[in-house]
Structure 1
Amino acid sequence: MVTEKNISAVINREIKSPIRIGSLTELQINREAFLSYFQPLFENLENDEYLVKENQITFLKNNFSEDIESISSIHKSYFEKQVGVEVLEPWISRLTIEQKKQFSQISTVTRQRNISTFTIEKVKEGYQIQRVEADSFEQKVNDFRSWKREFKQATEQAVENELFYQLLQKAFELVASIHPEIYKLKITSHFMRTLTKGEVKGENSPEGMHEDGAQYIISALVVNRKNILGGETQIFEKKDEVRELIFNKELELGEFAFQADTGEEKTFGNDLWHYVTPIQPVDMTEQGIRDIIGFDIEIIK
């Protein structure tokens, strides 16, 4: 398993904030059983329309700079689905034929997901895992992800089974190896599919280099890669306003990236950010997909 110590040796300076790049096998989870069980479950995810809405608003702001204030005034209500796409019509109707083609392209859904939230507590007999229902999802960040988003809840079949519980337990152990005193975590899980076809790339990190607003994250456990190039996991250290790439790897099936995410610079001394490069299809006539499970992890006690 690659850690911050290995990365420090490669870049010739010390990184103290925790990083773990590993595999299901290293977590002692049966890789073949895990992948064969979870791969089919990504076929029924719900379209993530929030990314489309953000792309549309950004496109209109870039093309109608004189109307940025007016577009900004409806940004949040449109994003949170309080109003429909008709509020954009005053600007859509003024787009050129080429701009309308571009607008249609950026309006293509390239991401699907569901979420679920759990608490996991260390008890005498092992672990106590409890699912927590949530109506919406927000992240503690300074961009559009801080606004309320509602995603379909994961099915019982997807997240209430022995393999998924094993994964939750292993996530607990990763955090406990850094903080031996902890005994309860809150973990929000994301099943996410990124799509690409033809000229439309799949954006894994449309916000660019970023943090997710959690203490720790598994930014990706890769469950499927099909007909794609790209999707490289990158970890950066932010120093002042400069972000330096300190690690990059194209995660294969069953591999994951775990790292400290938000506030870690106060605890460990290094401000870690992350990014995943876009994907594009190998065969342009066929759809390409990248399926991942991600975790946002908070220490409760």
Structure 2
Amino acid sequence: MSKVAFPITIVDHIDIGLNLEKIQNKLQSYYDEYEDDLYLLHKNKIDYISKFTKIHNDEIYKNINFDFSSINLDSNILKVVLSFKPNRKRLISKYIIDIKNENFKIERISANNFLQPLAFVSDEKFDYRKNERKFKELPDNLFDDDLRSMLKFVSFKIGRYTKKYKFAITAHHTLIFCENGRKSTNSPEGIHQDGMDFIMSAFVINRQNINGAKSIIYANDKKQKIFETILKNDQGIIQSDLNSKL
């Protein structure tokens, strides 16, 4: 296996200098601000339908408001599809980071419509991430010192290794939950790349009543596992992504 371009790195709140309990309490008070991820809900419906019939209409993939009753589905299948509920909520924020002589400058900019044209999945399935998606912007009150500390830590970590000191960082603030025994995942695409130079693939703030939820990093062949862990509260993974051997 070729040398990994950037070391897979586990970080925690102590490394970053965060007060985890304070962050947990603050974020919980904003959970109602998070919006349902309707793109993922739509994908879940399509994945279920695909178990029973081949989808020939590309419009179904692209239109999150598609009326599934307009296609010829068995009534029992349609009933299940219409019963699906969102299992992920999210917010988004974007920043320009500039580091000069150890001085850190951060500017928040509009995330606009989010697009991942260089995203990659390990099979030939439709990848909805390549379409434009619009998410609710993070409330200003959550762009706080803790988030700034995390952005600064990640920027310095990558900058010291790559000798690059200007970054555009998009942060996805997600809330994932399970109901009635239905599974949820932070990687509905399966084995994939996000199409970004580097990613913090997860930073867990609060994990409750969850079984499993392994973080697995595969080699370039998408078969060989080279890293596997179950992240605890306060842990995250920083890794290379686009054009890497992962």
TM-score, normalised with respect to structure 1? 0.73
Question: Which residue pairs with 2:234 in the alignment?
Answer: 254
Higher relative contact order (CA 8 A, sep 6+): 2
User: For the residues of structure 1 that align with 2:50 and 2:19, how far apart are their CA atoms?
Assistant: 48
User: For the residues of structure 1 that align with 2:86 and 2:152, how far apart are their CA atoms?
Assistant: 33
Question: Which residue pairs with 1:36 in the alignment?
Answer: 25
Instruction: Report the identity percentage.
Output: 26
Q: Shift in Å at residue 221 of structure 1?
A: 0.6
Amino acid at match of 1:238: N
Is residue 172 of structure 1 aligned with residue 155 of structure 2? yes
CA contact under 8 A between 1:35 and 1:254: conserved in structure 2? no
| Distance change in 2, residues 1:182/1:55 (3 Å) | same
- The one of 103, 106, 109 equivalent to 1:129 is 106
Is residue 22 of structure 1 aligned with residue 1 of structure 2? no
| Distance change in 2, residues 1:94/1:172 (3 Å) | closer
Unaligned runs of at least 5 residues, structure 2: 121-126
Amino acid at match of 2:4: K
- The one of 136, 139, 143 equivalent to 1:155 is 139
CA contact under 8 A between 1:223 and 1:253: conserved in structure 2? yes
Q: CA RMSD in A?
A: 2.1
Q: Whose strand fraction is larger, Structure 1's or Structure 2's?
A: 1
- The secondary structure found in structure 2 opposite 1:100 is helix
Larger Rg: 1
- The one of 27, 45, 48 equivalent to 2:34 is 45
Runs of 4+ in 1 over 4 A off after TM superposition: none
TM-score, normalised with respect to structure 2? 0.88
- The one of 157, 161, 164 equivalent to 1:182 is 164
Question: Which residue pairs with 2:75 in the alignment?
Answer: 96
Q: Shift in Å at residue 14 of structure 1?
A: 6.8
Amino acid at match of 1:72: D
Q: How many residues align?
A: 238
CA contact under 8 A between 2:38 and 2:86: conserved in structure 1? yes
User: For the residues of structure 1 that align with 2:42 and 2:155, how far apart are their CA atoms?
Assistant: 35
| Distance change in 2, residues 1:230/1:101 (3 Å) | farther
CA contact under 8 A between 1:127 and 1:169: conserved in structure 2? yes
Is residue 198 of structure 1 aligned with residue 198 of structure 2? no
CA contact under 8 A between 2:37 and 2:86: conserved in structure 1? yes
- The one of 229, 232, 256 equivalent to 2:211 is 229
Q: Shift in Å at residue 109 of structure 1?
A: 0.5
Q: Shift in Å at residue 197 of structure 1?
A: 1.0
- 55-64 vs 131-140, which deviates more? 55-64
Q: Shift in Å at residue 225 of structure 1?
A: 1.0
- The secondary structure found in structure 2 opposite 1:186 is strand
- The one of 54, 62, 70 equivalent to 2:43 is 54
User: For the residues of structure 1 that align with 2:184 and 2:47, how far apart are their CA atoms?
Assistant: 17
Amino acid at match of 1:16: V
